[in-house]
Amino acid sequence: MSTLTLRQEPPERLDFLHVTPLSLSRLSEAEAARLPVGTSRRGLTLGDCFTIALDKSEDLVIEGGSSRLDRVGASLDGGSIRVVGDVGQRLGAGMKNGSVTVTGSAGPFAGSGATGGTITIAGDAGDHAGGAVYAAKAGLDGATLVIKGTAGDHLGDRMRRGLILVGTAGAHAGSRMIAGTIAAGSLGDHPGFGMRRGTILASATGALTPSFVETGTHDLVFLRLLARSLRPLSPAHADLAAGALTRYSGDLATLGKGELWVSAA
């Protein structure tokens, strides 16, 4: 297991796009220390901020997090990264495979564009988790994003594929959603605003957009299969999918093939 230990709070935002277990396995500790990670004229390198211990394994631990660590795991294509602490924006954005785990909280756009693998955030996530960055065509695109705490607004905005599990989230969760599944303990106002396809599952929501129409309570095989697939990740979300749910069809102001399931209890 390779380890990067943060010595002190970075004096600027750091870009971890090219810091992965695979890239570090090809380098000596001296070479890794010279990797550029700074985002200003300071020209900071990895060795300026971290104590480095490498063993060429597929597992990387970052001891000591910071909200200034951006794009951690963004180019991950195998192996694992574990951050003990917080991270900044775009956690795991665009990752293809492997796992990223954060014991603290993450900034905005976590999981944006991720096509595979699993991202787990033990704390909270900022706005647009699993959502599309500016000018991007899609947000989460096949990966699994688990947020055990609270997510901000626009969770899963323009999500195209994959799965998002969250404790609670703010307004406009699943906005402009193309496809995929979001399961939440509770959501803020206007979930699914402008969604075209996909499934949103919640125990409670805020105000619904008028272009969502209630279609009744149904006992579907799909829900049983969804509950079975969610149980290894979150028994609470699996129990929600297995319970009595009211279905809303929408957003009928767009393509209208999406669905919002809300606990009928």
Q: Residues, the chain, total?
A: 265
pTM, rounded to two decimals? 0.94
pLDDT attached to residue 127: 97
Verify cis geometry, omega within 30 degrees of 0, for the bond prior to 251. yes
Q: What is the pLDDT along the chain (265 residues), one digit of tens a residue?
A: 899 999 999 999 999 999 999 999 999 999 999 999 999 998 899 999 999 999 988 999 999 999 999 999 999 999 999 999 999 999 999 999 999 999 999 999 999 999 999 999 999 999 999 999 988 889 999 999 999 999 999 999 999 999 999 999 999 999 999 999 999 999 999 999 999 999 999 999 999 999 999 999 988 899 999 999 999 999 999 999 999 999 999 899 999 899 999 998 7
pLDDT attached to residue 176: 96
Cβ contacts of residue 223 below 8 Å, gap of 6+? 241, 242, 245, 261
Q: H or E element: which one contains 208?
A: none
Which amino acid is present at 111? G
pLDDT attached to residue 150: 97
**Gap between the Cα atoms of 241 and 259, Å rounded:** 13
pLDDT attached to residue 218: 86
pLDDT attached to residue 56: 87
pLDDT attached to residue 262: 96
pLDDT attached to residue 265: 73
